[in-house]
Amino acid sequence: MSPHTTNGVSINEDAENTYFQTNPSPKALTKHQALALEFIQYHLENAPDRRIVLVTSGGTTVPLENQTVRFIDNFSAGTRGATSAEYFLQEGYAVIFLHRQFSLLPYSRHYSHSTNCFLDFMEESEDGERVVVRKEYQEKMRRVLQQYQYAKNNRLLLLLPFTTVIEYMFELRSLATLMQPIGSRALFYLAAAVSDFFIPRDRMEEHKIQSREGRGGSGRQLVINLDPVPKFLSNLVHSWAPKGSMIVSFKLETDPSLLVSKAEQALDRYQHDLVIGNMLMTRKWEVVFISRDGGERWIRVPKTRRSKSFSGIEALVGKAERKPDSEPVDLEGG
Ligand code: PAZ
C-alpha cells in the first residue's frame, strides 16, 4: 500500500503497517487496554461532559539487545508531563498518564528521590512513638495529599507505564483508538521525549553484545545501525485520534535558531492544533506556542520566580509573565 493523503498530508500506511507487524507488541498492552477501556467507559457513563486528556511523559529507550542489558536513553525526567497532569486534574480533566516507567509521577514528584530523599521530610515524634512529617513540610504535604487522594478516590488518574520506543508507539496507537468515543472532549498532550531512531526487531541481537567480538567496525568497535521511527504524529492526527479532538505536541531543540522554524514545520506538516517549543537549557522557564491561528507566543517565568524546585508548568497555564513576540531572555544569570 502506498502513502495516501488526508487534508493534503501524506500518511505512510506502509511504514505504519511494517512497524506494527514486524515489532512485538508490549506484554502489558492487553492489560493496559482493559484498564484504559474501563477508565474511559467509567467517565463517559458517570461524567459525560468531562474532558479526558492523554498526557505522554518521560523518555523512550532504544534497546540494543532483545534480552536487554544496554539501551540508548534520553534526558527526560518526566517533569513537564507529571506537572502538567496535576494542572489538568485541577482543571477538571480525567488524565491517562502514559509515562516512562520510574519517571516522575503526578503528586509523588514533589517527594522524588531526585530532589530530596523522602526520609528528609520525616522525623520521630517527641515521645518517640510515631514517625511524623516535619513541621515545615506539613502544609504543602497536606495540600498535595488532598489533591492526590481526590484524584484517586474519583478515579481521575490512570497511570500506564512504557519503557521502549516500540512499546510507546503501540500504547499510543491503542489508547488513541480507545479514545474515539470521547470525540471532541479528548485532548492529546504529547510531552514525552520519543526517540527518532530505533533498531527493528529482526536486526536486534538476542543476547548481551560481547565486547570481545566487535560488531560491524574494525577490531572491537560496536557500530550501531538505527532505522528512523516512522513519523506517527500524522497517523495520530489523521487516523487514530477522535475527530475534533485537540492535539498538542512538543518540540525540543538545542540550537535556538532552529526552534521556531522546526515547530512551525511540524504544525504545517501534521496539521494538528498546537506545537509547544522549548530549548533543552531553558525549558523550565520559557516555552513558545506555535498555533494555527498564526504567530509565535513566548511564555516566560519571571527571573524572580525561578527556583530549583520550580517545575515550569506555570508557564503553560497562564500564571507566568507573558511577553508576546519578544526574544528569548538570557537565563544564564537567572
Ligand atoms: O521531562 P522533562 O520535563 O525533563 O522534559 C520535557 C520535554 C523537554 C521532554 C518536553 O517538554 C518536550 O519537549 N518533549 C518533546 C521532545 C521532542 O522534541 O521529541
Encode the chain (334 residues) as per-residue pLDDT tens digits: 445 555 555 556 778 889 999 999 999 999 999 999 999 999 999 999 999 999 999 999 999 999 999 999 999 999 999 999 999 999 999 999 999 999 999 999 999 876 678 899 999 999 999 999 999 999 999 999 999 999 999 999 999 999 999 999 999 999 999 999 999 999 999 999 999 999 999 999 999 999 877 676 677 889 999 999 999 999 999 999 999 999 999 999 999 999 999 999 999 999 999 999 999 999 999 999 999 987 899 999 988 878 654 444 443 533 333 333 333 332 222 2
Cα 280 to ligand 1 centroid, rounded to whole Å: 8
**pLDDT number for residue 285:** 95
| Integer CA distances (angstroms), 230 to 12, 88, 159, 163, 194, in order | 8, 29, 26, 18, 11
4, amino acid identity? H
Binding-site residues, ligand 1, Cβ < 6 A: 76-80, 191, 193-194, 250-252, 278, 283
Q: Whole-angstrom Cα distance, residue 40 to residue 28?
A: 18
The total number of residues shown for the chain amounts to 334
**pLDDT number for residue 50:** 98
- SS3 state of residue 220: coil
Q: Whole-angstrom Cα distance, residue 42 to residue 263?
A: 36
The verdict on ipTM greater than 0.90 is yes
Bridging pattern class, strands 246-253 and 186-190: parallel
8 DSSP assignment: T
Position in ligand 1 atom list of the atom nearest CA 103: 1
Q: Whole-angstrom Cα distance, residue 84 to residue 222?
A: 39
Give the residues across from 289 on adjacent strands. 276, 297
Q: Whole-angstrom Cα distance, residue 238 to residue 5?
A: 9
**pLDDT number for residue 305:** 79
User: Three cell numbers at 28?
Assistant: 502489558
**pLDDT number for residue 247:** 98
Q: Whole-angstrom Cα distance, residue 232 to residue 240?
A: 10
211 DSSP assignment: T
- SS3 state of residue 156: coil
- Helix (H) or strand (E) holding 146, with range, is helix 135-153
Q: Whole-angstrom Cα distance, residue 187 to residue 52?
A: 6
Cα 216 to ligand 1 centroid, rounded to whole Å: 32
φ and ψ at residue 97, rounded to 5 degrees: -110, 95
**pLDDT number for residue 238:** 95
Position in ligand 1 atom list of the atom nearest CA 80: 3
